[in-house]
Amino acid sequence: MEENFKLKNWVSWAVELCKPDNVVWIDGEGLDALREEAIEKGELIRLNQEILPGCYLHRSAINDVARSEDKTFICTTAKEDAGPNNNWQAPEEMYARLTALFDGSMKGRTMYVIPFCMGPVGSPFSKLGVEITDSIYVVLNMNIMTRISKDVTKLVKNTGDFVKCLHSTATLSLDDRFIAHFPEDNAIWSINSGYGGNALLGKKCFALRIASYQAKNEGWLAEHMLIIGIENPQGEVHYVCAAFPSACGKTNLAMLIPPEVYQEKGYKVWCVGDDIAWLRIGEDGRLWAINPENGYFGVVPGTNSVTNPNALATISNDTIFTNVVHNQDDNTVWWEGLSKTPPTQGINWKGEQWNGTTSQEKGAHPNSRFTTPAKNLPILSPEVENPNGVPISALVFGGRRAKTAPLVYQARDFNHGVFIASTMASETTAAQTGAVGVTRIDSMAMKPFCGYNMGDYFAHWLDMGEKLGDNAPKIFNVNWFRTGDNGKFLWPGYGENLRILEWVLARCEGEALAIDTPIGLMPNPDDISTEGLDLPKEKLEELLHVDKNLWVDETAAMREYYKSYGDRLPKVLWDELSGLENRLHL
Ligand code: OXD
Ligand code: MN
């Protein structure tokens, strides 16, 4: 009873602050009426229901198309607890600033209250949240991305234990846009953005920033990782988690279709998750993972029947498209990379008339997205609802690097793996506002998502490694994006990435050789199967080549980066860096 009070009290407080005209509770039912309302208001366009049943198009404000990292804050009492990896403001100051902005922000609007569950309902991994929002688009997206039901509402009421997520699109003012996290209070306040990563608060804000903080305190990990199961011809499934920065192909890897020669041998891939993994040490001492999400919020451009046929099949039903081209010929959607025949009668992501054969500008925004339910994915893992998750054999990290990082290498041991992951760098993409193509260190692909000081986060990783001991998954680094002198990608990527994961898993099973190099353990070109693939050996050699001079420059950047964490950086990692420097100078 008292627990139920917590929810009621919090909602009453939000009503008093935001002053909506009415309040609607969301339990997953009756959403058709909301869809109709959104269509009437012009927030959604119903697409051709014969070709794309259950699909809708949304266009966001032009200044609101990506995560706003400069507007994202971690508000801990002590500034050092947020760390140099986060923008910080004192909680009382941020609360005061945002209280003024939320005051009356929902006048003339409806407030939606959405109790939701991250992770399978009833799983020991799972966590509850409640998002308050004034956006139907957010309600409909949250309904795809999280678990929402009468049972979840009951659970939230009965336990009173939930992350408080307050969101208003308010005026969409860029100047007053804030995505503020209060890890010490289990609270998130987001205002003036309707973009997924800023507004669907179950995703980055809760499942990564708040959850990473909870995970540190409770002894588990919340990571920016896909989870896939690789079934070998003997029918055994081994699971891999892989972390890549935003828009570096996690969704494509999570949904990969094995190359034909592998299919013929009986290989299959099962997708558990494409973006976030929550990992715990199981009773058997191994690392187990669940996907806290219930759908996919994927980058659309480039998705086609070659790059990701599974995604294409999934998004032909029950999907919300955001900021793609509206093809007026048949009331469907189009984006760059879908086909070679763009519509001539189109409306671009900005809402302007657009002719794909004559226009110089892209029709879909580079960070345009689909939101689609996991249940529609043809290769959805049967383990996705398993409350205990799946056991993880390997942790793979990767970035987008034109040179420097080779196609694949393995860490010597867990601590070395933490070092590799903490210093991994990648070129920025359109998933965040700001310049594209700038190389930056993005530790564990979590730099924009870690809800506390990353020095402490590295220490937590090392601690997890110690607890896991011999049961720890092996750690690898991959780079699908290496280019040759002509600037073209050397590696074909997509389904062919299975060839690399095959080596990774063989290493985990002690069945593949590796050579010791200054940066870690690497395959010989002959250790990577190229059966059925037209890839000259010289290319594979180039992909696996390590340029010592580039790595010496790289270690200088690592040193600068580590310094920014001051005494919060674990000594073990300084030792690992010195070890790498020594090996490079030999
Ligand atoms: C995402 C991101 O949306 O990383 O997954 O930006
Ligand atoms: Mn992501």
Q: Which atom of ligand 1 is nearest to the CA of 431?
A: 6
DSSP structural state of residue 432? B
297 lines ligand 1 (CB under 6 A): yes
65 lines ligand 1 (CB under 6 A): no
Q: Residue type at 577? A: L
| Selected residue with higher pLDDT from 511 and 249 | 511
Global confidence as pTM? 0.97
68 lines ligand 1 (CB under 6 A): no
Q: Which ligand has an atom closest to residue 141 CA?
A: 1
| pLDDT value at residue 431 | 77
Quote the CA–CA distance of 584 and 586 in Å, as a whole number. 6
Q: Which atom of ligand 1 is nearest to the CA of 197?
A: 3
Mean pLDDT in residue range 239-262: 94
Q: Which atom of ligand 1 is nearest to the CA of 66?
A: 6
Beta-strand pair 353-354/346-347: antiparallel
| pLDDT value at residue 185 | 97
Mean pLDDT in residue range 393-410: 96
Q: Which atom of ligand 1 is nearest to the CA of 245?
A: 4
Quote the CA–CA distance of 469 and 491 in Å, as a whole number. 34
Query: Residue with the nearest Cα to atom 3 of ligand 1?
Result: 197
Total Cβ atoms within 10 A of residue 429: 17
Phi and psi dihedrals of 440, rounded to 5? -140, 150
Q: How far is residue 304 from each of residues 101, 211, 482, measured CA to CA in Å?
A: 42, 33, 22
Mean pLDDT in residue range 38-48: 97
Q: Which residues pair with 215 in a beta bridge?
A: none
Quote the CA–CA distance of 374 and 381 in Å, as a whole number. 10
247 Cα: distance to centroid of ligand 1 (angstroms): 7
Mean pLDDT in residue range 447-464: 98
Report the mean per-residue pLDDT for the chain.
Answer: 96
208 lines ligand 1 (CB under 6 A): no
Confidence of residue 584 (pLDDT cuts 50, 70, 90): very high
Confidence of residue 3 (pLDDT cuts 50, 70, 90): confident
| pLDDT value at residue 249 | 86
241 Cα: distance to centroid of ligand 2 (angstroms): 13
Looking at the chain, the whole-number percentage of residues with pLDDT higher than 70 is 99
Q: Which of 69, 179, 204 to mutate to test the pocket of ligand 1 (most atoms within 8 A of CB)?
A: 204
Please check whether residue 421 is in contact with residue 433, taking contact to mean a CB–CB distance below 8 angstroms.
Answer: no
Please check whether residue 173 is in contact with residue 143, taking contact to mean a CB–CB distance below 8 angstroms.
Answer: no
197 Cα: distance to centroid of ligand 1 (angstroms): 6
| pLDDT value at residue 1 | 55
Q: What's the token pair of residue 557?
A: 């950047």
Burial 537-554 (b: 16+ CB within 10 A, else e): eebbebbbebeeeebeeb
243 lines ligand 1 (CB under 6 A): no
Mean pLDDT in residue range 516-525: 97
Q: Which atom of ligand 1 is nearest to the CA of 250?
A: 5
Q: Which atom of ligand 1 is nearest to the CA of 299?
A: 3
Q: Which residues are catalytic?
A: 248
455 lines ligand 1 (CB under 6 A): no
Please check whether residue 250 is in contact with residue 480, taking contact to mean a CB–CB distance below 8 angstroms.
Answer: no
275 lines ligand 1 (CB under 6 A): yes
Per DSSP, the residues of 286-307 read SEEEE---SEEEEE-TT-STTT
| pLDDT value at residue 382 | 98
Mean pLDDT in residue range 75-81: 98
446 Cα: distance to centroid of ligand 1 (angstroms): 11
DSSP structural state of residue 205? I
DSSP 3-state of 238:
strand
Quote the CA–CA distance of 433 and 388 in Å, as a whole number. 37
Q: Which of 275, 299, 433 to mutate to test the pocket of ligand 1 (most atoms within 8 A of CB)?
A: 275
334 lines ligand 1 (CB under 6 A): no
Q: For 16, what's the count of Cα atoms within 13 Å in the CB-facing half-sphere? A: 6
Please write the tens of the pLDDT for every residue from 534-564: 999 999 999 999 999 999 999 999 999 999 9
242 Cα: distance to centroid of ligand 2 (angstroms): 11
Tell me how long the chain is.
586
Q: How far is residue 230 from each of residues 85, 123, 193, 298, 381, measured CA to CA in Å?
A: 34, 23, 38, 21, 10
Please write the tens of the pLDDT for every residue from 97-115: 999 999 999 999 999 999 9
Mean pLDDT in residue range 452-478: 98
From the number of C-beta atoms within 10 Å of its C-beta (0-12, 13-18, 19+), residue 34 rates as buried
From the number of C-beta atoms within 10 Å of its C-beta (0-12, 13-18, 19+), residue 253 rates as buried
Tell the residue number behind the tokens 């070890």, with chain if given.
Answer: 579
Q: How far is residue 533 from each of residues 262, 309, 316, 487, 536, measured CA to CA in Å?
A: 11, 19, 30, 21, 9
Query: Residue with the nearest Cα to atom 4 of ligand 1?
Result: 246
576 lines ligand 1 (CB under 6 A): no
Looking at the chain, the whole-number percentage of residues with pLDDT higher than 90 is 95
Q: Which ligand has an atom closest to residue 297 CA?
A: 1
Mean pLDDT in residue range 1-6: 74
Of the candidates 323, 331, 332, the one whose C-alpha atom is nearest the C-alpha of residue 297 is 323
Tell the residue number behind the tokens 């867990």, with chain if given.
Answer: 414
Mean pLDDT in residue range 393-422: 97
Please write the tens of the pLDDT for every residue from 363-393: 999 999 999 999 999 999 999 999 999 999 9
Q: CA-CA-CA-CA torsion for 416, 562, 518, 516, nearest 10 degrees?
A: 10
Query: Residue with the nearest Cα to atom 1 of ligand 1?
Result: 246
296 Cα: distance to centroid of ligand 2 (angstroms): 10
252 Cα: distance to centroid of ligand 1 (angstroms): 13
Quote the CA–CA distance of 62 and 41 in Å, as a whole number. 18
Query: Residue with the nearest Cα to atom 2 of ligand 1?
Result: 246
pLDDT tops 80 at residue 420: yes
Per DSSP, the residues of 517-568 read ETTEEE--GGGS--TT----HHHHHHHT---HHHHHHHHHHHHHHHHTTGGG
313 Cα: distance to centroid of ligand 1 (angstroms): 21
288 lines ligand 1 (CB under 6 A): no
- Strand ranges across the sheet with 332-334: 332-334, 325-327, 346-347, 353-354
250 lines ligand 1 (CB under 6 A): no
431 lines ligand 1 (CB under 6 A): yes
446 Cα: distance to centroid of ligand 2 (angstroms): 9
Mean pLDDT in residue range 401-410: 95
Mean pLDDT in residue range 62-67: 94
